[in-house]
Amino acid sequence: MSAELDLSPPEVPEPTFLESLLRYGLFLGAIFQLICILAVIVPTSKGREQEETESTDGKATEQMKKPKGPAPQIRQKPKKESKKKR
């Protein structure tokens, strides 16, 4: 074992201002994304409860209304096939 092992820690340069800014910016972006995801998930679960109560109220009002006839259908004219003259 004639070769000596270098057990000293590797030299790591101090992070520059731009690197530090980028690191903290990424952390803030990740936190912002988590907050946005939670904001979408949490109110939708509350909104479904409100929709269920509204749907039961809506069913009661629909039963009181008179049923309307079938909705008028829009008629489309058939396309005319034209022969090409050569």
Alpha carbon distances (Å) from 7 to 13, 14, 15, 49, 56: 18, 21, 23, 63, 74
Residue 67 in domain:
no
- How many distinct structural domains can be found in the chain? 1
The residue among 10 and 73 whose pLDDT is bigger is 10
Query: pTM above the 0.75 mark?
Result: no
Kindly report, residue by residue over 49-74, the tens digit of the pLDDT: 666 666 666 665 556 665 566 665 66
Q: Is residue 35 part of a domain?
A: yes
Residue 58 lies in a domain: no
Q: Is residue 19 part of a domain?
A: yes
* Residue 34 belongs to some domain of the structure: yes
Range of the domain at 36: 15-44
**Structural domain includes residue 56:** no
